[in-house]
């Protein structure tokens, strides 16, 4: 009788040990899957950001190209044909680096603000977008409200320095 109880006990113990090993195996497998999903999520986020950035870059280059072709065909490219210094300033500012341009209007920043997604916009243009198109970030499509915007003073200083540096360039 004791022999039967002992063999039954050993069988039960082996079954429990196997279950414990299976549990740790499943826990490790779960952790590996979790890490893999996190890596895929990060990779997908990177692809999404690169795609959005490339769309942004392509749109800026097309807009600049259209501006340059319009100005060269209308004004033949000479500053002497312009009547005011503001127009001369505007021509030299058309060559502004992309990072100084608002991603919505493609104009130089005047009052730049930064959104929670980290993208800088022209305040008036973004507020106009929020009122007309809905309360979302125009590039990331995340929910966005006016009280979430903060002034981007570094960008404002950079634009002012660029304007000052290129004020007299023809």
* Long-range CB contacts (within 8 A, 24+) of 156-159: 156/109, 156/111, 156/112, 158/100, 159/100, 159/108, 159/109, 159/110, 159/112
Distance CA 62, CA 123 (A): 23
Distance CA 40, CA 131 (A): 35
Binned at pLDDT 50, 70 and 90, residue 57 comes out as low
Distance CA 152, CA 82 (A): 33
Higher pLDDT, 31 or 65: 31
Average pLDDT, the chain: 76
Q: Which residues contact 169 (CB under 8 A, 6 or more apart)?
A: 92
Binned at pLDDT 50, 70 and 90, residue 1 comes out as low
Query: Given a cut of 80, is residue 53 above it in pLDDT?
Result: no
- Do the strands 112-114 and 150-151 form a parallel or antiparallel pair, or are they unpaired? antiparallel
Distance CA 11, CA 68 (A): 84
Structure-token pair, residue 139: 């590039």
Q: What is the pLDDT of residues 124-151, one digit of tens each?
A: 999 999 999 999 999 999 999 999 999 9
Do residues 59 and 101 lie in contact, with contact meaning Cβ atoms separated by under 8 Å? no
pLDDT score, position 16 = 73
In the block, tokens 């979430």 appear at 148
Q: What is the pLDDT of residues 25-39, one digit of tens each?
A: 788 888 889 988 888
pLDDT score, position 74 = 46
Q: What is the pLDDT of residues 71-113, one digit of tens each?
A: 554 444 444 433 444 543 454 556 788 889 999 988 999 999 9
Higher pLDDT, 19 or 38: 38
Mean pLDDT within 151-155: 92
pTM: 0.47
> What single-letter DSSP state applies at residue 110?
S
């Amino acid at each position: 009788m004791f022999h039967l109880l002992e063999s039954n006990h050993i069988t039960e113990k082996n079954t429990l040990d196997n279950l414990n090993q299976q549990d740790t195996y499943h826990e490790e497998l779960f952790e590996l899957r979790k890490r893999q999903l996190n890596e895929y999520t990060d990779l997908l986020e990177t692809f999404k950001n690169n795609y959005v950035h490339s769309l942004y870059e392509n749109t800026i280059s097309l807009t600049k190209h259209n501006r340059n072709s319009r100005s060269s065909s209308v004004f033949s490219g000479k500053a002497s044909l312009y009547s005011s210094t503001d127009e001369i300033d505007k021509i030299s500012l058309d060559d502004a680096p992309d990072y100084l341009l608002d991603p919505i209007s493609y104009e130089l920043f005047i009052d730049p603000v930064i959104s929670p997604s980290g993208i800088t916009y022209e305040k008036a243009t973004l507020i106009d977008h929020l009122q007309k198109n809905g309360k979302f970030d125009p590039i990331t499509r995340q929910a966005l409200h006016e009280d979430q915007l903060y002034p981007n003073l570094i960008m404002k200083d950079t634009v002012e320095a660029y304007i000052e540096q290129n004020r007299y360039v023809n």
